[in-house]
Amino acid sequence: MMLRCLAIFACLSPLAWALDQQSIGDQITRALYQSPERVDDPILLGAASRLLRPIHQASDWRDQPLRLVILRNDQLNAFAAPGGVMGLHTGLFNEAESADQVASVIAHEVAHLTQRHFIRRQDSQSKVQAAYLVGTLAALAAGFSGDPTLGTAAMSATQAAAIDQTLAFSREHEREADRVGLQLMSDAGYATDGMAAMFDRMQAAQQLAGQPLPYLSTHPLSTDRIADTRARARTDRDNIAVSDQEFRLWQAVGTGAGLNTLPLADIGRIGYQMQAWTWLQQDKTAEALDVIEQGQLSFPRDYALLIFKAQALAATKPEAALDLYAQAGELHPYFAQPYLDAESLARSLGWTAEFYYYGAWAAERSGQPAKAQRQWQRVSEMDSALAIKARGYLKPEN
């Protein structure tokens, strides 16, 4: 489906492309949320939010929304797309050796957005470049669908139609994204040598595979880029570093191995998350809530703890659970998942107003703004405490 959506964009004029960034982003987001590979695990989503937030806040994109989707795929890949959409493969976590290395890829993709590379390529290259950019996104989509052969074919077709100047301009943008991404990493408190180390990991993975990585097919990596990045990189960091044990937890979740493959941690954020998850798996709600409430004293914004607490309260205190899902959505604005969970809970309870209200938020975050408006409109006409809130989100008709 995503390939069909993106193929339509090749026919758009450069002006239409520039003016319709949000619509394009909505279509891509809808397709990603329909993917069976989409990850909804609270620990991995929380990890991605922790890595992205300081970079997003340090960037020129800070006042614009970002929509992040993680897909369970072993290939090392990531992308940013028009409309502020970002996609990450779990293979990125699995191939990296540290949180700083993952953060370097995220910072690079945010830099593509802040530097307006999509629109600038249209301004410079007109329709030829529009077709090339669409083909690039289509190839990424094919890779996400689990068919790397289809992705390679799509890339070959569009590259054959592109001129040498197009490819050189793409390399220029990659160097610019490296430089801006390094600055974003530094401003966000990450060790910028993580980017150089990630380049080394990519080169090693490509040599082992004997063929180009999907990520390097769309982000050409040259010796000049590597040398320039190494020259600019620093080893110091200002943020609270992610421990090796916590990063291994993220990798276990990313591979689908689960937490059962790891020894139970007894301290810090990771300890609270793992213990809460363990109690919930054993249907020991009281024990889970006790651990979660202890953990929230130190980590009140933690995504996984908020979601685990909502899950623990869903059966006995559904109103509180819905509030927690909403809180997770507000604190971690990159995901639709908390509202999808709230919508599902409201449906199971038969609570109509809550079902449409949280469903509207889920639609808004997953690239369906028209559906969101229709559902908020419906709630606004109900005899419900949510009616006033829903009215506040309605946009004037044109």
What is the rounded CA–CA span in Å between residue 223 and residue 216? 13
In this structure, are residues 262 and 248 in contact, taking their beta carbons and an 8 Å threshold?
yes
d(CA 253, CA 41): 8
Confirm whether 354 is a catalytic residue: no
| Residue in 95, 174, 178, 246 annotated catalytic | 178
Beta carbons within 8 Å of 67's beta carbon, 6+ residues apart: 25, 29, 83, 84, 85, 86, 334, 335, 336, 365, 366, 367
In one-letter notation, the amino acid at residue 89 is: H
**Of all helices (H) and strands (E), which one includes residue 89?**
strand 85-89
DSSP secondary structure string, 159-203? Answer: HHHS-HHHHHHHHHHHHHHHHHHHHHHHHHT--THHHHHHHHHHH
Distance (Å, rounded) from C-alpha 220 to C-alpha 175?
10
The yes-or-no answer on residue 224 being catalytic is no
Helix 99-114 with 244-255: angle, nearest 10 deg: 70
Token couple for 91? 């293979």
Which residues make beta-bridge pairs with 89?
Answer: 71
Per the residue annotation, which of 95, 109, 193, 343 is the catalytic one? Answer: 109
Amino acid at 114: T
Order of strands, edge to edge, in the sheet holding 85-89? 67-71, 85-89, 78-81
CB atoms within 10 A of CB 323: 14
Q: State how far the Cα of 330 lies from the Cα of 391, in Å rounded to an integer.
A: 18
Active site amino acids:
109, 178
